[in-house]
Structure 1
Amino acid sequence: MLSILFGILAILSQQLAEPSNSLSFSYSLIERIFLLSYSIVFYIIQFIAPFNLSAMHYLPDNNGGFLAWQYYASLPFLLFIIWLIFRNTSSKYRQTGLQKVMVSGFFFFLITISVMLYVPAGFTLTAERYTYIPYIGLFYIAGQWISNIREKQLRLAFFTSKNAVFAMFSVIIIVFSCLTWVRIGVWKNGDVLFTEVIKKNPYIFHGYMVRGNVKRSNGDYQDALKDYNKALEYKPGLVLCLINRGIVKINLNDYKGAMQDCNKAIALKPDFAEAYNNRGYVYYGLGDIKSAILDYNKAILLKPEFADAYNNRGLAYEGLSNMKSAIFDYSQSILLEPNIAKLYNNRGNAYFKTGNVKSAIIDYDKAILLEPEFAETYINRGIANEGLGNLKSAMFDYNKAIQLNPKSTKAYNSRCLLKINTKDISGALNDINIAITLSPDNAEAYSYRGIIKMAIQDYEGSIEDFNFSLKLNPNDNRVYYNRGISRLILKDTNGACDDWKKSMEQGNDAASQMIRQYCY
């Protein structure tokens, strides 16, 4: 029963991981019989002489209409093995009890392994890991055979003594132990494992696709892209691989390439919700939020329980400042996936933007409870706590965020502002210098340092920082406003008025007051 259960789990897991791409249904009934017999013979041989071990032994190509000769030869060979077992269960074996052991052990192996092989799991024809329970039958035969030799109930003409048998099996155990040790290293992680699979199957797309998935999840996008390219070279119409390559290209800011992959995936499989969801994300990255929402709508229509599509549509609505719709979508995604921290974090951000700070903090608390090392949420909760005047709690959150992610520019920026508000100017300057070192192209960080330099009356230094901030982001009205104040203090009234005019043009009402007071 355990063998049946593990077999079913293996089949389901691979079919779920590889929708619409399974090869297990491309064979005729006759071909399946030969594949089954080949698999059984393969496992028997591997039991005796484990060579060419691999996590994946792939299904053969039958595009030419025929399988390779060894698949057809396997069935008569298997029948020959069964005939040998029955033929050799002579009176000598009946007397020692081995007849029953051999028959029951072999058929235990045969039945349990056949259950798992009846439907090949995904792309795999055979895999050594499926034999843990079936091999019990064969080990039972071997164990009883050795026991009978030890008890002198069975004599073998080709061994002069029972010690020779024990020596032989001792060598086998040592060899198998060494092989096991080597295989442990191969199974160290997915990258190492599928590198070995690719080495043994260099022209099969599946190994490259899976290794690409591993590298993508590890953030190694360049190498993941190479693997996906290789997989698609061997199987150009692989929809899931196109989708995953599109995700990688998004992370590499290649939105044009990602769009091409999504469009091709949709053309190949128009009812694939993930393709629309990913294309929506590409549109969002390109700033075409309305087109993004249309694609998210399509993804949800095709797959109503698609939590990620609701979350992404929520982000799109938030980008349009439609907070009511954003909160609704985040709530829907939470109903579908109540244990994902980022969903609560996103809804918390939307609540915060509507001024519902207490609800935002409740969501941030839940996100942290689900994922205690989620640095981004600590920053957001810190900002919310600061908004409520809970400065001690805000400082705790910023410190925790920096502890979890010492390279977070946003965390240093936020803690810098809090230190400015609490008059810790030296600490604020230290934080913002770290932020600029971490992210030299962060316009906001230069703006904050300019404010700090104003506080310590280094007005020329503040103007330098404001200049650099505006070079990186020329549309920040607050920076023009603050630079105008520094220029006024340095008696550059004309320059100050020019800055306030630009600030006012960008919607800063405070700038108009400064213009009325100092520029006329």
Structure 2
Amino acid sequence: MQRILRTVPFIIFQAIALLSSAQINTDQVMRIGANNLYFEDYVLSIQYFNQVIDVKPYLAKPYFLRSIAKLNLDDYLGAEKDATLAIERNPFIVDAWEVRGVARQNMGKNREAIQDYDQALSLLPDNRGLLYNKAMAQQDIKDLDGAAETYLTLLKRFPNFDGGYIGRARLRLEQKDTIAALSDIEKALEINSNSINGYLMRADIAINSDKNYASALEDMNHAIKLQPKYAGYFINMMKYSMAKMLM
């Protein structure tokens, strides 16, 4: 969701004029708030949505958009509350269920998050993000069979989603099925040769399974090429190199 443009000054000036009037044009203020949200100026967008809510508290959309802004500011409790207010006013806003689910998942409320994802999936069953987040939440509450079933559904519908294979590989490692986990990692790397997590996980398996430091070093080299500024990868490289020399 990275954006490089900024809202032009005359729009902001126009917004100030609108907000200072006795009766604001809520549609226009909503558009300006959404515009700032799009360009990732979350604090300013919240100010505009506040103005609309003050005038028309019965509308669902400003609460929903404000919940997105708060989610991006890591205000998970605020995002949860605003998404709830949006859902109370219009339960058919699928994204509001998703935002509340993500906020709850970030706060460790995984069971409640799963309920939100299920509600959203009942309205939009082929949503990749919803299925992926639900699987992770299920794994977090140790519903490993449920997570496996969700990953199976996800990968049937999105067979070229490398992140889904990486997620299921983590699940399979937790289930002590290293062979199946490696198969998923290989599939993810086949789809996306730039999957850093794939290389890191495969290196970790190589070390922990059979002390294959040469294979681990090769995978760490790939990770460093993809993310050269992360110092932790170089530390791992030194550890693996020293361990290889001592063998």
Instruction: Please indicate the TM-score interval, normalised by the length of the shorter structure.
Output: 0.7 to 0.9
Structure with greater Cα Rg: 1
Summarize the Cα distance change of 1:419–1:472 in structure 2 as closer, same or farther, 3 Å threshold.
same
**What residue is the counterpart of 2:241 in the other structure?**
487
Segments of 4+ moved more than 6 angstroms: none
Percent identity between the two aligned chains: 24
Counterpart CA distance in 1 for 2:81 and 2:235 is 37
**What residue is the counterpart of 1:426 in the other structure?**
179
Counterpart CA distance in 1 for 2:207 and 2:232 is 14
Q: In the TM superposition, what is the alpha-carbon distance from 1:279 to its structure 2 partner? A: 1.9
The letter of the residue matching 1:469 is A
Q: In the alignment, is residue 293 of structure 1 matched against residue 49 of structure 2?
A: no
- What secondary structure, in the 3-state scheme, does the structure 1 residue paired with 2:91 have? coil
**What residue is the counterpart of 1:351 in the other structure?**
104
Summarize the Cα distance change of 1:490–1:416 in structure 2 as closer, same or farther, 3 Å threshold.
same
Q: In the TM superposition, what is the alpha-carbon distance from 1:303 to its structure 2 partner? A: 5.3
The letter of the residue matching 1:263 is I
Q: Do the aligned partners of 1:262 and 1:279 also contact (CA within 8 Å) in 2? A: no
**What residue is the counterpart of 1:448 in the other structure?**
201
How does 1:319-468 map onto structure 2 within 5 Å? Answer: 319-456=72-209, 457-468=211-222
Higher relative contact order (CA 8 A, sep 6+): 2
Q: Do the aligned partners of 1:276 and 1:299 also contact (CA within 8 Å) in 2? A: no
1:263 pairs, out of 7, 11, 23, with 11
Q: Do the aligned partners of 1:281 and 1:292 also contact (CA within 8 Å) in 2? A: yes
RMSD: 3.3
The letter of the residue matching 1:458 is N
Summarize the Cα distance change of 1:349–1:254 in structure 2 as closer, same or farther, 3 Å threshold.
closer
Map Cα deviations across residues 426-474 of structure 1 (whole Å, 9 max, x no partner): 3222322332343344433332233233344332332333333344345
The letter of the residue matching 1:386 is Q
Q: Do the aligned partners of 1:314 and 1:326 also contact (CA within 8 Å) in 2? A: yes
Summarize the Cα distance change of 1:490–1:264 in structure 2 as closer, same or farther, 3 Å threshold.
same
Summarize the Cα distance change of 1:254–1:351 in structure 2 as closer, same or farther, 3 Å threshold.
closer
Summarize the Cα distance change of 1:254–1:326 in structure 2 as closer, same or farther, 3 Å threshold.
closer
Summarize the Cα distance change of 1:320–1:477 in structure 2 as closer, same or farther, 3 Å threshold.
farther
Summarize the Cα distance change of 1:359–1:481 in structure 2 as closer, same or farther, 3 Å threshold.
farther
- What secondary structure, in the 3-state scheme, does the structure 1 residue paired with 2:125 have? coil
Counterpart CA distance in 1 for 2:37 and 2:43 is 11
**What residue is the counterpart of 1:313 in the other structure?**
66
Q: In the alignment, is residue 469 of structure 1 matched against residue 217 of structure 2?
A: no
Counterpart CA distance in 2 for 1:290 and 1:363 is 26
Summarize the Cα distance change of 1:478–1:322 in structure 2 as closer, same or farther, 3 Å threshold.
farther
**Structure 1, unaligned runs of 5 or more:** 1-249, 493-520
Summarize the Cα distance change of 1:302–1:437 in structure 2 as closer, same or farther, 3 Å threshold.
farther
Map Cα deviations across residues 95-126 of structure 1 (whole Å, 9 max, x no partner): xxxxxxxxxxxxxxxxxxxxxxxxxxxxxxxx
Map Cα deviations across residues 113-166 of structure 1 (whole Å, 9 max, x no partner): xxxxxxxxxxxxxxxxxxxxxxxxxxxxxxxxxxxxxxxxxxxxxxxxxxxxxx
The letter of the residue matching 2:99 is N
Task: Name the TM-score, length of structure 1 as normaliser.
Answer: 0.40
The letter of the residue matching 2:71 is E
Q: In the TM superposition, what is the alpha-carbon distance from 1:325 to its structure 2 partner? A: 0.9
Summarize the Cα distance change of 1:337–1:453 in structure 2 as closer, same or farther, 3 Å threshold.
farther
Q: In the TM superposition, what is the alpha-carbon distance from 1:417 to its structure 2 partner? A: 0.9
